[in-house]
Amino acid sequence: MLILGIETSCDETAAAVVSDADVGARLRANLVFTQLEEHRLYGGVVPEIAARSHLERIDALVAEALREAGVDFADLDAIAATTGPGLIGGVMVGMMTAKAIAAVHGKPFVAVNHLEGHALTARLTHDLPFPYLLLLVSGGHCQLLAVEGVGRYRRYGGTIDDAVGEAFDKTAKLLELGYPGGPAVERRARSGDPRRIALPRPMVGRPGCDFSFSGLKTAVRHALGKLESVTPQDRADLAAAFQAAVADVLADRSARALARFQAETGQSGPLVVAGGVAANATLRARLSDVAQAQGTELIAPPMALCTDNGAMIAWAGLERFRLGAVDGLDFPARPRWPLDSLSAPTASTPA
Ligand code: ATP
Ligand code: MG
Ligand code: FE
């Protein structure tokens, strides 16, 4: 089975071809064009610029992905694309491209929820059966969910304010570390002392599995305000303090969720992390400790498959398609589309 996947929901234009071969032989092509330079000047993603840029590149990127995979449109079993959630202009570009290919070549179209793409990525790279506990940490989302199957998500908790990626990006801006924020904070934190400046640990020790990050960002602003002049070492120390606080919060919440998951399923784990922030090495190390302390392991996709890519969309499309899901060409683009509102694919999924 060969699936083409298209991703255009934010600032990465991406196309990939995946197969249902054994782990290790599934990725036939995975091309990502990042629009970083086009948005850097504005310090964030500009939706209109993103949509136009997706439109300019998507056709060539799809052609290149097919070439690299050594396949033609005729060889594909289905065409998958992100239909939400995300910036609607960009989502439209990728979704319409996929629908046009499907219509012209007489192939099934599969609508993919971007978050389900993140949620199932670990099954592309690992032999990972359901269920598992998922910590989804990305630019727009921060959630803990029990993943019971394709389309079957039970939410344990989520952020009550900012997403964790958003907190990284805003903190990077405050610290003037450049764009994009997450990788910049991680890089600068390496030369910082996480203990010099004390930051709060919002929600730690509280019942439930919710998160809060806006107070942490405000605490960074206050700490900056107290410094007479801000030196590069101050920035490094604050970046390290922020990253350590985020890791503590995510570790505490994940430990709680894991205990609940174990009680509910009778299974020890595993704990799976996904989304752009899962590329953070400090976080991965902490989560691995949490999993081990509770008798299980952490499974994390390789860094390049944590941030947005086409392979995750092609793979989620494959998982849905092999369960019988096909979507109509009238399937709508959805700016908002929560993971726990999905349902398991059935042989005749309505649009
Ligand atoms: P969503 O998936 O919620 O719709 P998105 O697609 O924009 O949002 P992703 O591409 O999954 O988000 O992740 C991007 C986020 O990950 C950004 O906020 C970025 O700062 C963060 N990020 C990327 N690399 C790292 C890192 N090494 N450390 C911390 N954060 C990181
Ligand atoms: Mg991005
Ligand atoms: Fe994403």
Q: What is the DSSP letter of 275?
A: S
Ligand that lies nearest to the alpha carbon of residue 87, given by its number in the listed order: 1
User: Do 175 and 224 touch, CB atoms closer than 8 A?
Assistant: yes
pLDDT for the residue 178: 87
Residues with CB under 5 Å of ion ligand 3 are 138, 308
What's phi and psi for 200, nearest 5 deg?
Answer: -70, 165
DSSP structure class, residue 211: B
In angstroms, how far is CA 348 from the centroid of its own chain? 28
pLDDT (tens, 9 = 90+) of the chain, 351 residues, equals 999 999 999 999 999 999 999 999 999 999 999 999 999 999 889 999 999 999 999 999 999 999 999 999 999 999 999 999 999 999 999 999 999 999 999 999 999 999 999 999 999 999 999 999 999 999 999 999 999 999 999 999 999 999 999 999 999 999 999 888 999 999 999 999 999 999 999 999 999 999 999 999 999 999 999 999 999 999 999 999 999 999 999 999 999 999 999 999 999 999 999 999 999 999 999 999 999 999 999 999 999 999 999 999 999 999 999 999 999 999 999 999 999 999 999 876 444
CA 19 to ligand 1 centroid distance, Å:
26
> Can you give the pLDDT at residue 190?
98
Give SS3 for 63: helix
Point out the ligand nearest to the CA of residue 32. Answer: 2
ipTM of the complex: 0.98
The predicted pLDDT at position 351 comes to 45
Identity of residue 208? G
95 phi and psi angles, rounded to 5 deg: -65, -45
CA–CA separation, 238 and 250 (whole Å): 18
Task: Determine the pLDDT at residue 348.
Answer: 60
Which of the listed residues 7, 9, 10, 141 should we mutate to test ligand 1's pocket, taking the one with most ligand atoms within 8 A of CB? 10
Phi-psi region of 205 (alpha: psi -120 to 50; beta: other; left: phi over 0): left
Phi, psi of 252 (to 5 degrees): -60, -50
Compute the radius of gyration of the chain from its Cα atoms: 20
Check whether 141 is labelled as a binding-site residue.
Answer: no
CA 39/CA 345 separation, integer angstroms? 37
Q: How many beta carbons lie within 10 A of that of residue 161, not counting itself?
A: 16
Residue with tokens 């019988």: 324
Known binder of ligand: residue 136?
A: yes
Q: Which residues contact 65 (CB under 8 A, 6 or more apart)?
A: 4, 15, 16, 17, 29, 30, 31, 310
Strand bridging mode 109-113 / 12-19 = unpaired
Q: Is the CB of 169 under 6 A from ligand 1?
A: yes
